[in-house]
Amino acid sequence: MIQLMGRPFQLDNSTNMSNMEKMIIQSMDQAPDLYSYHSMDEFSFEINIRRNLIESAISMSEGQSQFTTFEHTSCNPSYWYVSESGGFLLRNDVRPSDGIWDIYRNSSLYSFECATACVINFYHAILRQIGDHLFNLIFQNLYLYSWHTDSDLELQTFYGDLLPGDVVYFSNPDVNPNTFWYRGENAVFLGNDLFFGHGIGIKSAEEMIEILNEFRQPQSTQSSYLTNLITRPSFSRLYQFLSLQRNDRTYKKQQYLIHHNHCSISYLQHLYFLFKR
């Protein structure tokens, strides 16, 4: 259910919205949870970023970037350094926005695993919404590795309503150790039972499961499955932050970094490794 300025939101057929935006709104309106917004601007902000998340995922799918493990990560050296752990460290002479744009514009130069792909997708979607200037003020010193993010992105992971633009996790608990990178797949939900997973492409949930099942241990009877775990940015916090335009902050919370060397893990698993250290 959607609540706008204290009242139930009604989608008017005359509203100037794309079919994708209407699909997102209808999914939110039909969900059991309440989605409440203080203004039309705040509501539109989330809808626009969710649309961007879907479009960015489709764009990545249509590009030439490849799936690989951290050991074989590659990038455009004019924009990024590859760390010893297989992460992308932005060059000092490159603007953050240019680094993100280049992953899509020169996709054939890049290879990374599926959690990193989701983080790139988050940044790209937000960049398209807020523009280069604000993006460069907020997301400085980018480092792309698994689920590591800038603190202002503020990812949330929980069990709840699945909405278009959310990231889900397909788990393969009986994965063959020889193909450990198929232990699971992080995927962006595009709506209409379609998901984009980097390295697999755009598939239905059933197709995702069938592909992962091909990489189980011999004689395994444990099927892969779509978990109920949802990962998304905190749209409300990001909107509030941008509205306040706190660009003159002298302090910014730094995210802890853990190089766990486990590709294709969920954000929840990443947090486990992070706090286990």
Q: What pTM was computed for the model?
A: 0.95
Mean pLDDT of 108-128: 98
Q: In the structure encoding, which two tokens stand for residue 25, read together?
A: 């709104």
Find the domain containing 272 and state its range.
2-276
Question: What is the Cα–Cα distance from 42 to 165, expressed in whole angstroms?
Answer: 17
Q: Specify the pLDDT at position 173.
A: 97
User: Taking all residues of the chain, what is their mean pLDDT, rounded to a whole number?
Assistant: 93
Mean pLDDT of 1-18: 80
CB 19 within 8 A of CB 13: no
Element (H, E) at 187: strand 184-191
Task: Evaluate if residue 219 carries a pLDDT over 70.
Answer: yes
Highest mean pLDDT among 20-24, 39-43, 167-171: 167-171
Percent with pLDDT over 70 in the chain: 95
| Region for 84 from its dihedrals, namely left if φ exceeds 0, alpha if ψ lies in -120 to 50, beta otherwise | alpha
pLDDT tier for residue 180 given thresholds of 50, 70 and 90: very high
* Count of domains forming the chain: 1
Question: What is the Cα–Cα distance from 39 to 95, expressed in whole angstroms?
Answer: 32
Sign of CA dihedral 239, 244, 245, 248: negative
pLDDT tier for residue 155 given thresholds of 50, 70 and 90: very high
Q: Specify the pLDDT at position 72.
A: 97
Question: What is the Cα–Cα distance from 258 to 30, expressed in whole angstroms?
Answer: 38
> Of 123 and 237, which is predicted with more confidence?
123
| Region for 146 from its dihedrals, namely left if φ exceeds 0, alpha if ψ lies in -120 to 50, beta otherwise | left
Task: Evaluate if residue 174 carries a pLDDT over 70.
Answer: yes
Task: Evaluate if residue 157 carries a pLDDT over 70.
Answer: yes
Mean pLDDT of 73-95: 97
Q: Specify the pLDDT at position 251.
A: 59
pLDDT tier for residue 265 given thresholds of 50, 70 and 90: very high
Q: Specify the pLDDT at position 22.
A: 92
Question: What is the Cα–Cα distance from 105 to 121, expressed in whole angstroms?
Answer: 13
Q: Specify the pLDDT at position 253.
A: 73
Question: What is the Cα–Cα distance from 230 to 85, expressed in whole angstroms?
Answer: 27
> Coil, helix or strand for 159?
strand
Task: Evaluate if residue 161 carries a pLDDT over 90.
Answer: no
